[in-house]
Amino acid sequence: MHLIAHRGNIEGPNPKWENHPDYIQEALDAGYDVEIDLWRVGYGPMRLGHDGPQYDLPYKLTHRPGLWLHCKNIYALRTVQYWAPSGLNYFFHENDPCVITSLGYIWTRPGQELTDNSICVLPEIQEDIEHRLPVVAGICSDFIGRYNETSS
């Protein structure tokens, strides 16, 4: 099962550090996949940030396995589509119940039906979800440490 740290969060939301390159690297180094928010404004550089472009995307992260790139605008999507190495997951959505990632996973918004190929996003804000988690392909959470069987 893919355990995905939402914006780099492992033990809860941390708005000050979310999507910061060092924070992302810490989550990757801890053994988690990471969902990041990716922007591109016009022909400028790729940037990280939830509500807008905040941080430069370091080159060392551009080809790192375990990243799930949430392209926040069409410029980011087109750029990633062009340069993404095989094996990198990327997707674009706004208010869709679910979308298919570039590697065929079903990225599923909170409250939607789940399948064995779904990534359950933010189970912590959903009621009566725990019994459905064993059937999914992955979990994306601000509290992903809770779902790590090896965590103490």
Residue for token pair 């869709």? 96
Mean pLDDT score, 10-29: 96
Question: Is 129 a residue whose pLDDT tops 90?
Answer: no
- All structural domains of the chain, each given as residue ranges with its CATH number in brackets, are 2-147 (3.20.20.190)
Confidence of residue 68 (pLDDT cuts 50, 70, 90): very high
Extract the tokens encoding 151: 């965590």
Mean pLDDT of 73-85: 87
Please give the radius of gyration of the chain, using alpha carbons only, rounded to the nearest integer. Answer: 15
Whether residue 121 has pLDDT greater than 60: yes
**pLDDT confidence bin for 152, thresholds 50/70/90:** very low
- Checking if the pLDDT of 38 tops 80, the result is yes
pTM: predicted TM-score of the whole model, two decimal places: 0.92
